[in-house]
Structure 1
Amino acid sequence: MGRKAGEQRARVTTALDHLRQQIGLALGAARNARETAEYELARLQLEQLVVRTGLERAAHDSHITERANEPAMAEVLSWLRSVRSEFYREWADGPNRLREIVAASAPGPAGRPPGDWLGRVGSSSGVSAPQLWRIGSSTVDGSAAGRTPGTELTFDVAVPLLDESHLAITSAPNTRPAVDAIVENLLMRVLSTFEPGAVKIHLWDVGQLTAVLPSFYALTRTSAVTVHDPTRLVDLLDEFAGHIRRIHSYTMQAGYPSLRALRAATGKRAEPWRIAVLYGNGEDLHPEQIRDLKRVASGALDAGISLILVDVPTVLGGSVETISMLDERHALTSMTGSDLVVTLDPPLPSGQVTTAAGRIAEALVAKQGGPRSFADLLPTEYGRESSARELRAPVGFFQGEPVEVVIGDATPHALIGGPSGSGKTNFLYALLGSLTARYSPDELALYLLDFKEGVSFAGLAPGRKDESWLPHARLVGVNVNTDREFGLALLRFLAEELRRRSAAAKEHEVTNLEELREQDPEGHWPRIVAVIDEFQYLFAERDTVTALATSLLEDLARRGRSQGIHLILASQDIAGIDAFWGKPAVFEQCTLRIAMPKARRVLADTNQAAVAAPKWHAVVNHDSGIAHGNQLAHVPDASGKGVFPALQRELWQAYAGHGQPRLFDGAHAPALEDSAAFTSLAPAERPRALVGQSIDVADAAHSVELSAAPGRNLAVLGTSAKEALSILDSATRSLARQYRQGDVEFVLCCLVDRCLPAVRELTDRLVAEGHKAGLVAADDLTEVVTTSAAALAGLETPRILVLYGVDAALPALEHKEPGKQSGLDHLRTLLKQGPGRGLHVLGWWRGVARLKDTLGFAGTDDIGAWAALDVQGNELAPFCAGQVVHWSPRQDRALFFDRTTHSSPEVIIPFHRTEASDE
């Protein structure tokens, strides 16, 4: 037992000794690994310190020397020197190659000595920019490059700027003048490279209350240089943030990732470059300023903005190069590394800089010129642009540069506002002129509607003084402030066109107009622009017109963009449109906003740019009115006497094959003789009686078909003799054109004495045309209806009874002899049975109640069509299937209803009745 216990104790002791040995080995290995790691870390830290300081200066740095003298660190400096020597042996021709690279990447003023360019105005178009811009030179010992020891090799040093990188400059004590010299050198090289206006410079200095870079004073009076308030950095950053958003939206819409890519693809400089020089004082900016600055820097290069930060301690996003000043003549740069000292170019002679800035300013002013004219908006050749993708046209100028309006998928619809006298009509003419000069009528179709009492667009249709018209115009509507139905008709027409285009797109399996035109090149698919001036009249009342117009407008605004249908809505007072309150769909789609001076609620609520806009200017905004999208434009005089007509006549002659537009003038009733619906009439089996002009996009008329169906009679209701005579005159004359001579008999009877001359004139006209026509005396009406009723069964020739003032004959017609029917009974028989036997009544009753008395208990079925004049809508419900009729009498208008064709009454314009004395 004791022996076993001893053996066990021995095994435990052996195991413990082995464990202690393994733990010792592990601890030793860990200690060695830690010492090795600490050595490597110390070595790497020393290497980093030497690289940052530079090998040449490291030998004179006491801290580095002290550490390098440690036995374990002694080899670090020698190892770094061997690495550098090996690098230079492999790159013996490095300085020459650097000179070649800078020469190729910094051509002209970007890299040449100042004497070659300072004082000359740049001529580059600004499509592409040099990649590098010279700031100085650097020197290396030739021995490091395989040359004789002591030989100095010098090469140019340049930094990227436009489109390539931002630049951060850190000063040293007493080096502010040298920093200014670097900035002045870079800016003057840039300004001297490009044509005036291609670059805009923004200067901000937190410590300056006066002008920054005084040699540029001449340029601060132009658009080339802007000095910003040192206390309002937020304004500058907000301006740039808005600019970046606008450019990003613009380039993305065009399908390019950046402004540089867009310029390279199109060969055009869409926007000037912008350089912002921000002078700090070495202190941190406010946190919100740092946040905004970083946000701007991250997207600035793609938007053509380069930042030069001086003593602004922050780390920017994106590409940033640095210049760290050592003294007034030397600096370190991120382009050359910390081991090479850059000798900065000497400052440009201040007098020569001032002279050069003055010349550039003069050239920019000369280029921008004075006030531009309407002719400056027009291209050299008409009709050369394609509207497949979008419509684009300048409408004005800002500091000599054109300001464009873009109508396409991104900005499909426009809202234009401005009080009376603010230039809204002039802007519309400038826009229409610029568009029609660039796009042919096959590319652009215009539908123009002016609700106010004026003739803004009347001159675009042929007139008595000028036979020309705007060939792009398909419809011109003026003086339609009381004819809201015409605006509704236009929206219905556009909705039908949208349906037609959508069906074609579906058939060709495409989604937008550009693709449809590619797949159907033989189709006729112009972009449609509908301009509705004073459009708020459409929604002036709370009725069915407003409800339908709102629904149609919302649908067109939402879906029209994809099929090339665009709305331009203009108004003097946007604030008064109640119909859209709570229905923002239309306004949200009107991303293009144009605000005339003093306009309200066109731009965003916080955007007050229109308040300060001067006369003859407009604020053009493609970003739904947000302030960052503002573009101020001086709009030339386009509405002056003879200005637009001169362009119109040229376009009319150039596109002679395009027909004239349909002109709808609400202030003038059309003559029956001028109506295409009347002149096109010919003998027909089922004649139609024209009652008035349709309020529609098409030049059409409303009519009543006088078939054999029951109720095919026409009643005119109201006391207005002028309109009643017109309706019965047009109905009778139109019917006469559809019968051959001898095939119809007209019987006319007038019971209103003052209308008798007009009825007699109509009778004579019918006789002169070869028809059977007779005018019977009022006292003979009872006999006429009695004999007509008796002969009804054997009637062989169609007969039209035209009765004026039927209600005046009711007392005589009601007279009844014992055992016989009254004349009124016979009239009711004619109304009920006549259409089936070829007899129709066209009658005028001067009141709804009197028509009811005429019809008696037979109801309203015997009057299938009626035209109401000065009759209130609530009186007409019995003759309109009981539906509520919204109608208030309007001068020279009538409400027409034909129960066989209409679901609800429609407003018509009675034709102007031409008297014999007028012919």
Structure 2
Amino acid sequence: MGRKKGEQRARVVTALDQLRHQIGLALGAARNARTGAEHELAQRRLEQEVVRTGLERAVADPELAARMTTPAMAGVVERLATVRDRFYADWADGPRRLRELVATSAPGPAGAPPGEWLGRIGTDPGLSSPELWRIGDSTVDIGGGQSFDVAVPLLDASHLAITSAPNTRVTVDALVESLLMRVLSTFEPGAVKVHLWDIGQLTGVLPHFYALTRTSAVTVHDPTRLADLLDDFAGHIRRIHGYTMQAGHPSLRAMRAATGKRLEPWRVGVLYGNGEDLQPEQIRDIKRVASGALEAGMSLILVDVPTMLDGAVENVHVTAERTAVTSMTGPDLAVRLDPPLPASQVTAAAGRLAEALVAKQGGPRTFGDLLPTEFGTESSAVELRAPVGFHEGEPVDVVIGDATPHALIGGPSGSGKTNFLYALLGSLCARYSPNELSLYLLDFKEGVSFAGLAPGRKEESWLPHARLVGVNVNTDREFGLALLRFLTDELRRRSAAAKQHEVTTLSELRQQDPAGHWPRIVAVVDEFQYLFGERDSVTALATSLLEDVARRGRSQGIHLILASQDIAGIEAFWGKPAVFEQCTLRIAMPKARRVLAEANQAAVAAPRWHAVVNHESGIGHGNSLAHVPDASSGGVFPALQRELWQRYGSTSVPRLFDGAHAPVLAESSAYTALSRSDRPRAIVGQSIDVADTAHAVELSAAPGRNLAVLGTGQRDAVSVLDSAVRSVARQCAPGDVEFALACLVEQCTPAVTALSDELSSGGHKAEVVTTDTLTDLVTAWAGQESTARRILVAYGVDAALPTLEAKEPGKSSGLDHLRALLKHGPARGVHVLGWWRSVARLKDTLGFGGTDDIGAWAALDVQGNELSTLAAGQVVHWSPRPDRALFFDRTTLSAPEIVVPFRREEDSDD
């Protein structure tokens, strides 16, 4: 037992000895490592001090020299000498390369001496900006000292933060003035706009620029309204970002490069502080502006504004008169700032720049200035963009696309709304061909604003882009409804094509289906509030359709332009803001109400012949004031129209619907397109539709294929029957049809005679029947078979009822035979086209057999409540209108529809 314990003790002692030995080794290694680290740290500290002081000056410093000569530090001097020699060998040509770099990156006024450019007018159109802008020079202690140019980035690239030392405000002003004058002198007038704000000065900011403050090139802002200025900056940035990103570009710079157009001037915001902290919300707004400004073509120059900006910022600390330290050169190099520009020369140069800008802006612009040098070269795949006016000589564009799909235009009578529409249409049509743009134009007010855009008696040309022109439709609200139905159908067609090609936008569809015809459609509805003027089914359906088109049209290239004198009273949209929310493009004429946002009163102060163009749903920051040239006076727009017509005249002729003039049958495409048919169609009247179509009754063998014209209006009744007979005759060969024209009202004699003569001249058999012979005719036709089709046209059937009712005992009366003819005639090729002067008299004629034998009817001056029994019992909403009829054919229509009776050529428009 004792021996076992002894062995255990020996093992413990041995393990402890080994542990002490390992600990000793570790402590020794740690001491050695610490000594090495302390030695290396001493070397690094000495190296840092020598580098900061400079090797030559360090040798002359007794303390540093003593440390450098110790054996432990010998390697430091050797290493630094090697690095210096290598650096000098590499950097010997550095200053020259820097000078070349600045010369290349800062061409012209951006880097040249002032004597070469100060007082001269820039010619650069502003498609791109120099990368650097000279502020001074610096020297590197190499070979006796070599200098190089110092420049900073600015436009599109960086903000600039300047801080000053005490008593250096003059130097700071000279630096800012020199930079701004270089920028303004590089580009053509108007390419750069400068905003000056000084917390301590009301008007004395950079006084040598005073001449420019009278133009748009330089604006001095109220020192007490920094929040308003920053809001304007933020709104501008949002607007630029909106349309650049919508067009697929990350920045305004990228968009300029892609399109080859400047699009927007650069903006430089110079904010002078006093070194004290601003309010927290002001600092927040400055940072917010700075974060998105560069992509929007805006740079900030902050002077003594203590804040750290997000994004690219270059810092310049003015340390003394004409001396500064910059982040471009680092803290160890002093920059000698360029001398101040001669005050008198700056003042004179500013005056010349101001004069050049005023001269460039010129006097009042004309409609011709809106037009491009080459017509029809633009693509509408992404958007429609066209200038509509000018502000200080620069064009103001209207953009219609995915971001701003629909427009709302408002202005009281005489404010220039019609002139604006002409300026917009002309500018668009000059830039886009009819394959890129299709127009549907509707004017509800009593006028002919758009009538000249379709071929007429005075002008043979038409606007090739127009597919539909509707004027004087204030009483034909159904025509507006028809346009909305058409747009909905077209939207459905485009959506189906987009789904087939697995795309979501028009631009993508055009890429995937280049052979398809997919122009952007713009529907202009002037005085659109008339469409919603009644609380009826038309208003309800129009509201629903308009909301659908407004919501879904943006992605399929279908755009609405809704114009009105006053939109305040449109009850149809109360509580339904869907349409107005989609109208992100707002154009307000002088004194317009409820078009812009409620707090935006820009239209109140707008002068005559101007318009406020706003792509931001009417919010104030989106305002652009445009002087709109005269586009509507005699000969201005027609000259452009003729030129476009000569270029694109082979395109289809637009459909003209004039609510104030009745159509002529011979001029209707529905009539001219008729050809020979075994089932002729009797045309009743023109449809109120986008297409030039007509309602007609097919005279087939089906029961009820007869037509009744109802009402006391003789002229319209005669016109309806005249159109029906002429259209049937056009579809039948001579000998295939017999007409019996029963003139039962004396006043119809001239019209009946004229129609009979025309039918006879066309080779058709036409017999004129009187009241006395009508009974014999219907008796004969009711009992005879005929190989030819027979048409009985009866003018004023109710006038002959006493005669038709007479009968001999045991025989059927003429009325009985007429009823048999109505019931059984169509199956034997016999049809009745008759005029009854009231619904009651038609029912007297039909007797107790019901109304099934009259399958189609056209009502004139008959109230809707009298027609329910003739319309399958449905409620008929109809109030008689001049020169209009309500038509129903139970085989083709689910509800009665309004038609326009064709005017007989013998009748005058009066």
TM over 0.5: yes
Deviations 1:699-748 (A, max 9, x none): 22111111111101111111211211111121122223333334333223
Find out whether 1:692 has 2:682 as its counterpart: no
Aligned mates of 1:586, 1:160 — CA distance in 2: 45
Bigger Cα displacement from structure 2, 29-38 vs 344-353: 29-38
Return the letter of the residue paired with 1:114.
P
Q: Deviations over 1:163-195 (max 9, x none)?
A: 221111111111111110000011111111111
Task: Please report how far the alpha carbon of residue 303 of structure 1 lies from its aligned counterpart in structure 2 after TM superposition.
Answer: 1.3
Of all paired residues, the percent bearing the same amino acid is: 78
Equivalent-residue separation in structure 2 for 1:98 and 1:741 (angstroms): 98
Letter of the structure 1 residue corresponding to residue 828 of structure 2? R
SS in 2 for 1:575: coil
**Match in the other structure for 1:102:** 102
Please list every run of 5 or more consecutive structure 1 residues that lacks an aligned counterpart in the other structure. Answer: none
Secondary structure of 2:460 counterpart: coil
Question: Match for residue 128 of structure 1?
Answer: 128
Q: Which moved more, 1:834-843 or 1:650-659?
A: 650-659
Shift of 1:92: 3.1
Counterpart residue number, 1:613:
606
Matches within 5 A, 1:211-222: 211-222=204-215
Amino acid at match of 1:850: R
The more displaced of 861-870 and 437-446 is 437-446
What CA deviation, in whole Å up to 9, does each residue of 1:299-355 have, x standing for no partner? Answer: 111111111111100001111111112212212111122211112211110000000
Q: Which stretch has the larger CA shift, 837-846 or 542-551? A: 542-551
Q: Which sits farther off after the overlay, 451-460 or 388-397?
A: 388-397
**Correspondence for 1:412 among 405, 410, 423:** 405
2:851 counterpart of 1:867: no
Q: Which amino acid aligns with 2:98?
A: L
Q: Which shows bigger deviation, 88-97 or 218-227?
A: 88-97
CA gap 1:189/1:46 in 2 versus in 1, 3 angstroms:
farther
Distance 1:439 1:303 in 2: 27
Partner SS, residue 507 of structure 2: helix
8 A contact 2:669–2:692 mirrored in 1: yes
Contact residue 53 and residue 339 of structure 1 kept, 8 A: no
Equivalent in the alignment of 1:111: 111
Q: What residue identity is the alignment partner of 1:873? A: G
Alignment pair present for 1:890 and 2:881: yes
The aligned amino acid for 2:119 is G
Superposition pairs of residues 287-686 of structure 1, within 5 angstroms: 287-686=280-679
1:234-254 CA deviation, whole Å, 9 max, x = no partner?
A: 111111111211222222223
Bigger mean CA offset, 305-314 vs 549-558: 549-558
How far apart, CA to CA, are the structure 2 residues paired with 1:859 and 1:433? Answer: 58
Match of 2:552, SS?
Answer: helix
2:801 maps to what in 1?
A: 810
Deviates more, 1:896-905 or 1:536-545: 536-545
1:68-83 equivalence runs, <5 A: none
- Compute the displacement of 1:564 (Å): 2.8
What one-letter code is carried by the residue in structure 2 that aligns with 1:810? L
Provide the C-alpha distance between the structure 1 equivalents of 2:681 and 2:80, rounded to a whole number of angstroms: 106
- SS of alignment partner, residue 285 of structure 1: coil
Deviations 1:84-106 (A, max 9, x none): 78755652333233222222222
For 1:310 and 1:40, the matched residues in 2 are separated by: 44
Question: In terms of mean alpha carbon deviation, does 541-550 or 727-736 score higher?
Answer: 541-550
Instruction: Tell me by how many angstroms 1:15 deviates.
Output: 12
Secondary structure of the 1:574 match is coil
How far is 1:160 from its partner? 1.4
Contact kept in structure 2, 1:52 and 1:338, CA below 8 Å: no
142, 149, 170: which one pairs with 2:163? 170
TM-score by length of 2: 0.91
* Aligned residue number for residue 154 of structure 2: 161
Q: 1:642, 1:582 → 2: CA distance?
A: 44
CA distance in 1, matches of 2:50, 2:605: 60
Distance 1:659 1:11 in 2: 113
Q: Is the 8 A contact 1:55 1:339 kept in 2?
A: no
Query: Separation in 1 of the partners of 2:265 and 2:700?
Result: 72
2:229 to 236, 240, 247: 236
Cα 1:548/1:32, change in 2 over 3 Å: farther
Name the amino acid aligned to 2:893. Answer: H
* More off after superposition, 370-379 vs 619-628: 619-628
Structure 1 Cα separation of the partners of residues 342 and 173 of structure 2 = 13
Which is further off, 289-298 or 469-478?
Answer: 469-478
Distance, in Å, in 1 between the alignment partners of 2:899 and 2:830 is 26
Q: CA 1:633/1:909 → structure 2, altered by over 3 Å: closer, same or farther?
A: same
Residue 720 (structure 2) aligns with: 727
Q: Give the equivalent residue in structure 1 for 2:91.
A: 91
Query: Do the aligned partners of residues 915 and 94 (structure 1) sit closer, same or farther apart at CA in structure 2, a change above 3 Å counting?
Result: closer
Which ranges in structure 2 are unaligned for 5 or more consecutive residues? none
Partner amino acid, structure 2, of 1:295: R
SS in structure 1 opposite 2:573? coil
Shift of residue 401, structure 1, vs aligned partner: 1.0
Q: Distance in 2 between matches of 1:300 and 1:692?
A: 62
Counterpart pick for 2:264 among 271, 285, 289: 271
Identify if the C-alpha distance between structure 1 residues 261 and 736 changes in structure 2 by more than 3 Å, giving closer, same or farther: closer
In the TM superposition, residue 56 of structure 1 has moved relative to its aligned partner by: 11
Structure 1 residues 9 and 769 mapped into 2: Cα distance closer, same or farther (>3 Å)?
A: closer
The answer for the alignment partner of 2:903 in structure 1 is 912
Do the aligned residues in 1 keep the contact of 2:771 with 2:803 (CA within 8 Å)?
Answer: no
After the TM superposition, which parts of structure 1 deviate over 6 Å for at least 4 consecutive aligned residues? Answer: 1-61, 72-86
For 1:229 and 1:89, the matched residues in 2 are separated by 55
Amino acid at match of 1:133: W
Instruction: Give 1:212 shift.
Output: 0.8
Report deviation, 1:27: 12
**Is 1:702 paired with 2:702?**
no
Q: How many Å separate the matches in 2 of 1:197 and 1:39?
A: 64
| Alpha-carbon shift at residue 897 of structure 1 (Å) | 0.5
CA–CA separation in structure 1 for the residues paired with 2:258 and 2:737? 74
Mean Cα deviation higher: 750-759 or 906-915: 750-759
Of 846, 864, 879, 1:855 maps to 846
* Aligned equivalents of 2:865, 2:236: Cα separation in 1: 58
RMSD (CA atoms): 3.7
8 Å CA contact retained: 2:776, 2:814: yes
DSSP 3-state at the match of 1:326:
strand
Out of 838, 841, 845, the position equivalent to 2:836 is 845
Question: What amino acid is aligned across from residue 877 of structure 2 in structure 1?
Answer: H
Could you give the per-residue CA deviations for residues 372-430 of structure 1, whole angstroms, max 9, x where no partner exists? 10000111222222223332211111111111122223322222222211111111111
Q: Is the 8 A contact 1:53 1:338 kept in 2?
A: no
Q: CA deviation at 1:453?
A: 0.8
Kept in 2, the 8 Å contact 1:132–1:160? The answer is yes
849-858 vs 867-876, which moves further? 849-858
In structure 2, C-alpha distance between the alignment counterparts of 1:680 and 1:419, rounded to whole Å: 44
1:880 aligns with 2:871: yes
Residue identity matched to 1:121: I
Distance change (3 Å), C-alpha of 1:99 and 1:14: same
Given that residues 719 and 901 in structure 2 are in contact (C-alpha distance below 8 angstroms), is that contact kept between their aligned partners in structure 1?
A: yes
How far the C-alpha of 1:565 sits from its partner, in A, is 2.5
**Alpha-carbon distance in structure 1 between the residues aligned to 2:327 and 2:58:** 19
Q: Please tell me whether residue 900 in structure 1 is matched to residue 895 in structure 2.
A: no
* 1:10-29 to 2 correspondences below 5 Å: none
Contact 1:54/1:338 (CA < 8 Å) preserved in 2? Answer: no
| Segment of structure 1 superposing worse, 588-597 or 760-769 | 760-769
CA distance in structure 2 between the aligned counterparts of 1:315 and 1:51, rounded to whole angstroms: 30
